[in-house]
Chains A and B, each alone.
Chain A
Amino acid sequence: MKKFQIHRGVAAPLLRVNVDTDAIIPSREMKLVSKKGLSEGLFAGWRYTEVGGRTPTADFVLNRPEYVGASILLSGPNFGCGSSREHAVWALSEFGIRAIVAPSFGVIFQGNCERNGILPVVLDEAVVRSIAEQVEEDPQQCQVTIDLEHQQLLDPRGRQHRFEIARSSREMLLNGLDQIGLTLNRLEAIEKFEEKLRARRPWLFEF
């Protein structure tokens, strides 16, 4: 998993409430046996003019030239609600999104983000709106910096905003460890347990 320490980038405001995972990646866009190849389908219902088509909707934020290369999303409350599909996070990640700043997140989605190297930043709605206004002046110049180690977001005017994140999630993201990585840190304990289990219940290890 990609580490998240300090990231500076273009932030795109998508200030809607309850952006659900069906909107992030419609099911018809999950066509491959893979976590990859999903970025084309990201926000397909909003991003393209017709179902299944690829003609960009001119005014959708990620299609606007001033937001080219956006790597941070600014959004409204309850971002990522709905279906648990991890494809939503895989699509965002492949598109290049590294962080999402919103007042709150769908619980499963938030966990999926943390397991896939995307930082969910929780800030008050007024603060998110203020950052969006600053960004809109000149998105390519007015970039946002997020420092996970110090749990701070630096807005384009240089103001610092502190955010909270669970200790284990912070560790996972800072060190680029997914849950598998974290568990592999306990390999010694696993191996020790395994030896004990093998001695007591050898038939479980017959094959």
Chain B
Amino acid sequence: MAKTLFEKLWSDHEIQQLEDGDSLIYIDRVFLHERTGSVALESLSSDGRAVRTPGRVFCSMDHIVDTLPGRGDDTLVPAGKAFIQSTRQASRQAGIHLFDVNDFDQGIVHVISPELGIVQPGCTLVCPDSHTCSQGALGALAWGIGSSQAEHAMATNTLVVKKPRSMRVNFHGTLSPGVTAKDLILHLIARYGAAGGSGYAIEFAGEVIRNLDVEARLTLCNMAVEFSAFTAVIAPDQKTIDYLQGRRYAPSGDNWGAALDYWCSLHSDPGATFDREIDIDCSELAPCVTWGTSPQHACEITGKVPDIAPGAGDTDHATWRRAYEYMGVQAGQPLRSLAIDAAFIGSCTNSRISDLRQAAAVLSGRRVAEGVRAICVPGSQGVKRQAEAEGLDRIFMDAGFEWREPGCSMCFFAGGESFGFRQRIATSTNRNFEGRQGPESRSHLASPATVAASAIAGHLADPRDYLEGKPA
């Protein structure tokens, strides 16, 4: 029988079907970070339980760790140092892999896991972090869990999971220059709503996906959770194989060939049926940016803050009015008229080397507008080293950007460092919720190129104006 990619991943890891539609699923890898990892590890050991296979559990310092140059365990997040130090101690005790604060491979979990080859096609990977769905980009079944479930996964190598429904999103056509994976996902969420993927495991497919490189696919899958999906997957192909070859935790020796044979079988069979299928034509798509307080409040950079849709209910009216008011925008206002106070390039969505290259292409030989605070936080030590080898750090710093140490940084406000009160931020991150990047912060989600263009212009701007060599 024709099977979907998700069906193959699921059935290959289903140990037993339980009552009420639950399944016992085998978990190949667990990833932790210092915000929730230490609680899970300490709780496990105080219950007298061991991590069943410590060699397959990994932990990074990313959420709380400081990103200022010269950092150590001290951090601006209240009580943050305690989280960092207890994570270190608990990780050592449990015997798991730890990528410590200034380790050679430290970085954001969803950046370093693919980078080191820890996530692989056909494996199951969980992490107490909602953006774990990013890693489905390599053809893995990867999803975010809670703290207790992390304990469960570490103690048993399994989780009890209700099987989600399946959806395929087909992206057709060819992307115009300057249009990226970030624009694709913002467009999808704007069109089908932030709850559009609720209850589904989604497969991203179509010629646009095949043409995306692995890093762009990670960006796309990263925001599946903002679409409320259980997770997202993309069928592995030659690009995936080339990406993984030679990475530290990728299969080695004879295993590499055997793995390749298996990986090549990981695709939806012709005739496989999905519970839902969506088709999107991308040929006319422009760079996108959010105007409101949900990722679904997104539209093309060339457009205006939209009016409340005719026929919207009372709740929608109230939500939209609240978003206008919170963001300090009005319906009909051109997006490019919105002056920004800050620009942020980083996060598990857009902090990879390709993201930094795209931003640098816009920034090269230009300066950030006066009064704009601009920050670049590479997603990992590896990304930072590569960027510095290519001279991108100079381009960022010459343009007036701060060049930071790897981590989640100001993607969210944890009580420590933040952008200023009611500041407007062009940001390559994933959430524009109220107060997400600081007290009453006004976040506009966009691609790294769009953020870079906005930093130069001093207002939300179209990166194509800069990429095509038009006047700065």
Inter-chain contact A115/B148, CB cutoff 8 Å: yes
Q: Which of B213-221, B248-256, B286-294 contacts A (4 or more CB under 8 A)?
A: B248-256
Count of interface residues, chain A, beta-carbon cutoff 8 Å: 27
Inter-chain contact A203/B255, CB cutoff 8 Å: yes
What are some 6 contacts across the A-B interface (CB < 8 A)? Answer: A31-B79, A190-B15, A190-B158, A203-B258, A203-B259, A206-B252
Q: Which of A64-72, A73-81, A134-142, A176-184 contacts B (4 or more CB under 8 A)?
A: A176-184
Complex partner residue of B49 from A31, A180, A186, A197, CB under 8 angstroms: A180
Inter-chain contact A183/B255, CB cutoff 8 Å: no
Inter-chain contact B15/A33, CB cutoff 8 Å: no
Inter-chain contact B155/A33, CB cutoff 8 Å: no
Task: Give B15-42 interface residues, CB cut-off 8 Å to A.
Answer: 15-16, 19, 24, 26, 28, 38-39, 42
Complex partner residue of A84 from B16, B122, B146, CB under 8 angstroms: B146
* A41 to B79 Cα, complex, angstroms: 17
> Does B82 make an interface contact (CB < 8 A)?
yes
> Does B157 make an interface contact (CB < 8 A)?
yes
Pair count A-B, CB < 8 A: 83
1/0 per residue A153-192: CB within 8 Å of B?
0000000000000001000000000011001101101100
Inter-chain contact A183/B152, CB cutoff 8 Å: yes
- In the complex formed, the residue of A with least CB distance to B260 is A203
* A197 to B15 Cα, complex, angstroms: 10
Complex partner residue of B262 from A115, A201, A207, CB under 8 angstroms: A201
Closest 8 pairs (CB-CB, A-B):
A203-B251, A203-B255, A193-B15, A33-B86, A183-B156, A207-B55, A203-B259, A33-B38
Chain B residues lying within 8 Å of A34, measured Cβ to Cβ, are 39, 42-43
Inter-chain contact A180/B262, CB cutoff 8 Å: no
1/0 per residue B129-162: CB within 8 Å of A?
0000000000000000011100110011110100
Inter-chain contact A190/B157, CB cutoff 8 Å: yes
Given known contacts A201-B122, A207-B249, A33 and B82 CB-to-CB distance under 8 angstroms: yes
1/0 per residue B289-327: CB within 8 Å of A?
000000000000000000000000000000000000000
> Does B394 make an interface contact (CB < 8 A)?
no
Inter-chain contact B259/A35, CB cutoff 8 Å: no
> Does B466 make an interface contact (CB < 8 A)?
no
Chain A residues lying within 8 Å of B251, measured Cβ to Cβ, are 203, 206
Task: Give A1-58 interface residues, CB cut-off 8 Å to B.
Answer: 31-35
> Does B123 make an interface contact (CB < 8 A)?
yes
Inter-chain contact A184/B157, CB cutoff 8 Å: no
Inter-chain contact B155/A180, CB cutoff 8 Å: yes
Q: Which of A86, A186, A202, A207 has the most CB of B within 10 A?
A: A207
- In the complex formed, the residue of A with least CB distance to B252 is A206
* A201 to B344 Cα, complex, angstroms: 41
* A184 to B44 Cα, complex, angstroms: 14
> Does A194 make an interface contact (CB < 8 A)?
yes
> Does B56 make an interface contact (CB < 8 A)?
yes
Chain B residues lying within 8 Å of A187, measured Cβ to Cβ, are 156
Chain A residues lying within 8 Å of B55, measured Cβ to Cβ, are 207
Complex partner residue of B26 from A179, A197, A203, CB under 8 angstroms: A197
Inter-chain contact A86/B147, CB cutoff 8 Å: yes
Inter-chain contact B39/A35, CB cutoff 8 Å: yes
Inter-chain contact A204/B120, CB cutoff 8 Å: yes
1/0 per residue B232-255: CB within 8 Å of A?
000000000000000001011001
Inter-chain contact A204/B123, CB cutoff 8 Å: yes
Chain A residues lying within 8 Å of B24, measured Cβ to Cβ, are 183, 186, 189-190
Chain A residues lying within 8 Å of B49, measured Cβ to Cβ, are 180
Inter-chain contact A180/B152, CB cutoff 8 Å: yes
* A95 to B259 Cα, complex, angstroms: 51
* A33 to B249 Cα, complex, angstroms: 30
Inter-chain contact A168/B19, CB cutoff 8 Å: yes
A144 to chain B, nearest CB (A): 29
* A32 to B46 Cα, complex, angstroms: 15
Given known contacts A180-B156, A190-B15, A204 and B28 CB-to-CB distance under 8 angstroms: yes
> Does B83 make an interface contact (CB < 8 A)?
yes
A92 to chain B, nearest CB (A): 15
B243 to chain A, nearest CB (A): 16
Inter-chain contact A179/B152, CB cutoff 8 Å: yes
- In the complex formed, the residue of B with least CB distance to A182 is B160
Complex partner residue of A35 from B15, B16, B43, CB under 8 angstroms: B43
B112 to chain A, nearest CB (A): 15
* A190 to B13 Cα, complex, angstroms: 11
* A50 to B272 Cα, complex, angstroms: 61
* A179 to B212 Cα, complex, angstroms: 41
Complex partner residue of A194 from B12, B26, B152, B249, CB under 8 angstroms: B26
Chain A residues lying within 8 Å of B157, measured Cβ to Cβ, are 190, 194
Chain B residues lying within 8 Å of A179, measured Cβ to Cβ, are 148, 152, 160
* A189 to B158 Cα, complex, angstroms: 11
Q: Which of A31, A189, A201 has the most CB of B within 10 A?
A: A201
* A187 to B52 Cα, complex, angstroms: 11
* A31 to B79 Cα, complex, angstroms: 7
A89 to chain B, nearest CB (A): 10
Q: Which of A115, A183, A184 has the most CB of B within 10 A?
A: A183
Chain A residues lying within 8 Å of B156, measured Cβ to Cβ, are 180, 183-184, 187, 190
With A33-B82, A180-B152, A204-B120 already in contact, 20 other A-B pairs whose C-beta atoms are closer than 8 Å: A33-B39, A33-B86, A168-B19, A179-B148, A180-B155, A180-B156, A183-B24, A183-B152, A183-B160, A186-B16, A187-B156, A189-B15, A190-B26, A190-B156, A193-B15, A193-B26, A197-B26, A201-B122, A202-B255, A206-B251
Q: Which of A86, A168, A187, A203 has the most CB of B within 10 A?
A: A203
Inter-chain contact B258/A202, CB cutoff 8 Å: yes
Q: Which of B83, B151, B157 has the most CB of A within 10 A?
A: B157
* A203 to B26 Cα, complex, angstroms: 15
- In the complex formed, the residue of A with least CB distance to B49 is A180
Inter-chain contact A86/B258, CB cutoff 8 Å: no
* A201 to B146 Cα, complex, angstroms: 28
- In the complex formed, the residue of B with least CB distance to A202 is B255
B30 to chain A, nearest CB (A): 13
Chain A residues lying within 8 Å of B38, measured Cβ to Cβ, are 33
Chain B residues lying within 8 Å of A204, measured Cβ to Cβ, are 28, 120, 123
